[in-house]
Amino acid sequence: MATVNDVVIKIGTVNGTGSASANGLLMKSIFRMGVPVVGKNYFPSNIQGLPTWYEIRVTGDGYQARSNRVDVMVAMNAQTYARDLAEVSPGGWLIYDSTWPRSTLLDRDDVTVLGIPLSRMCNEHFDGARARILMKNIAYVGAIAALLDIDLDTIKALIEETFAAKQKLIASNMEAIRLGFDYANENFVCPLPKKVAAMDGTKGHIIIDGNTAAGLGCMYAGATVGAWYPITPSTSLMDAFRSFCAQYREDPESGKRTYCIIQAEDELAAIGMVLGASWNGARSFTPTSGPGISLMSEFLGFAYYAEVPAVVFNVQRTGPSTGMPTRTQQADILSCAYASHGDTKHVLLFPADPGECFTMAQTSFDLAERLQTPVLVLSDLDIGMNDWMVPDFECDEGYVPDRGKVLSAEELEGMEKFYRYLDVDGDGIPYRTLPGTHPKGAYFTRGSGHTRYGSYTEDSDAYQDVVDRLLLKWETARSMVPGPEIRYSKSNNAAILCVGSSDGACNEALDRLNEQDISLNYCRVRAFPFADSIKEFIEQHEIVYVVEQNRDAQLRTLLILDGDADVGKLVSILRYDGLPLDAGFVVNRVLDERSRGRAA
């Protein structure tokens, strides 16, 4: 079937061969033609030599999820040739390097195979082993440009921008583009029935990954101390923060920095540093991933009880244990909500895309300081490391950071006596002081039992007084955290409820189901504790499909624990194979449930 701006291209290569920049070039060229795209990277936990894929979904409808089909496969890796061919959707195309013979056993009747002698052409036109490998990647971009009718001038402009400082590379890259482009035009019928055509669907949008967005958000939120221990897939968040700070936080004259990034010895230390810095009044954060959360748990419990602000970005990956570090999941919901021993619970934020990674950076610092407690931002590998098209970020020039209840020297001077854990305002949030402010502000921060006055205690009533007040604070938090995104379709008593990166696939699934006259309402949870409106939403429906990316229905469990939701109403739709969620999966599961008589 001929289509315009609805095609999925998947490129299989060997990691370490420099294909990332070629794939980025291809995706951005399409984006610059005004056509919405989604870029997903499926990469190994490895540096060189293993299979890796990049998938570009061209979606004129502007969907944000991956699709579960492949129209054009570029099979550059002989190791995965058979599997790549098998993955092509019926009626699709497979491009391979025809420099070497290919086993005919791997042919498929329903797939058109297009051989391009990429290695031979590049060996003839370029010198040096590395250049030949790199140019082979650029050459397949040229071939796809011809096959999908991508504008060559747009590609050229991008190459010129990329290599503005290295003029020589512009000519060689364009030559490689030409090699692939011309070969495809001369040997195949171009364009294919599935093609790309310029439209006006990307204005006011950027393509960015969530970790870069969060790093930028932290700079804009005024974070000054970042502590971290490298862990996939969160590492690029601190890399981004560092590069933005290097540009904007160094005095042009003295070269002195207004930021301090500490690569800690482990995650235990990283969170300790965040607590120390926050205690001292700096906006401080740490990015990490699942295993890091496990290690940080003791300190998170400390911060909850001693009431120290902290911001933690958890870019979730596939667990348990080391799991699959380069695959995605939403499986740390419970471990983050209740991290640490004893009665602890933590405020969680769930960004759905890089746009929310940017805005929630600011929200997380405001809430952490206002509530004097850790705030964990639960992103995931899909959001953090894949390329998303999102509306331009905005900087609110009038933004005043919420530093919470911090007493100044003047306020302390006028007080008779300061007590750290006294609930003066009745909202469960006490006042705090920063070291060095005033002698009257001194108090002892401790994780051991303490009274409302801040002194050590082993007295039952005095202990319980404080932990009960923390529950009051929890209710204050409930009223402060971002509320859910709720959408009603036609009047209906069934709904989909999801969190984070499941949003894109769920929205698309709602459209697909609507085409089948199944209209569902929608609720996307954005924070824990759950706002009252989430509870009300669930109460309004007879069936709520809870879509999440873990095995154990962690969001559903949390809705029952914190939201007091009716267990029978919550029907789980679970995906936990490590791949980003796609709409087809959600649609099929909803249809399955309905055919089993679980429709409302």
Beta strands in 35-122 (DSSP E): 37-42, 51-59, 72-75, 93-97, 112-116
**Phi-psi bin for 119: left (phi > 0), alpha (psi -120 to 50), beta?**
alpha
Nearer residue to other proteins within complex by CB, 109 or 394: 394
Q: What is the nearest approach in angstroms of other proteins to the Cβ of residue 265?
A: 4
Single-letter amino acid code for the residue at 283: R
Instruction: Give the pairing of strands 51-59 and 6-14.
Output: antiparallel
Q: What is the DSSP letter of 379?
A: E
Nearer residue to other proteins within complex by CB, 179 or 296: 296
Q: What is the nearest approach in angstroms of other proteins to the Cβ of residue 298?
A: 5
Radius of gyration of the chain (CA): 27
Quote the distance between the C-alpha of residue 159 and its chain's center: 28
Q: What is the nearest approach in angstroms of other proteins to the Cβ of residue 435?
A: 4
Nearer residue to other proteins within complex by CB, 67 or 433: 433
Structure tokens of 303? 């911060």
Would you state the torsion angle of the CA atoms of residues 316, 300, 336, 377, taken in this order, to the nearest 10 degrees?
Answer: -60
Q: What is the nearest approach in angstroms of other proteins to the Cβ of residue 401?
A: 5
* Nearest-angstrom CA–CA distance, 542 and 527: 23
Nearer residue to other proteins within complex by CB, 296 or 565: 296
Distances (CA, A) of 335 to 314, 338, 357, 455, 555: 11, 6, 20, 30, 11
Structure tokens of 305? 């009880």
Q: What is the nearest approach in angstroms of other proteins to the Cβ of residue 438?
A: 6
Nearer residue to other proteins within complex by CB, 265 or 517: 265
Q: What count of other Cβ atoms lies within 10 Å of the Cβ of residue 108?
A: 13
Nearer residue to other proteins within complex by CB, 96 or 299: 299
Neighbouring C-alpha atoms within 13 Å toward the C-beta of 52: 20
Quote the distance between the C-alpha of residue 488 and its chain's center: 26
Helix 354-371, helix 210-220: angle, nearest 10: 40
Nearer residue to other proteins within complex by CB, 28 or 589: 28
Q: What is the nearest approach in angstroms of other proteins to the Cβ of residue 339?
A: 13
Q: Do 430 and 422 meet the contact criterion of CB atoms below 8 Å apart?
A: yes
Q: What is the nearest approach in angstroms of other proteins to the Cβ of residue 455?
A: 4
Nearer residue to other proteins within complex by CB, 161 or 592: 161
Nearer residue to other proteins within complex by CB, 68 or 437: 437
Nearer residue to other proteins within complex by CB, 183 or 418: 418
DSSP for 466-521 reads HHHHHHHHHHHHHHHSPPPEEE--SS-SEEEEEEGGGHHHHHHHHHHHHHTT---E
Structure tokens of 342? 């004893």
Of 570, 305, 593, whose CA–CA distance to 463 is shortest?
Answer: 305
Q: What is the nearest approach in angstroms of other proteins to the Cβ of residue 238?
A: 14
Nearer residue to other proteins within complex by CB, 277 or 429: 277
Of 344, 349, 348, whose CA–CA distance to 302 is shortest?
Answer: 344
Structure tokens of 274? 């965040």
Q: What is the nearest approach in angstroms of other proteins to the Cβ of residue 1?
A: 31
Q: What is the nearest approach in angstroms of other proteins to the Cβ of residue 29?
A: 11
Residue bearing tokens 């399955």:
592
Nearer residue to other proteins within complex by CB, 100 or 456: 456
Single-letter amino acid code for the residue at 529: P
Q: What is the nearest approach in angstroms of other proteins to the Cβ of residue 400?
A: 8
Q: What is the nearest approach in angstroms of other proteins to the Cβ of residue 422?
A: 16
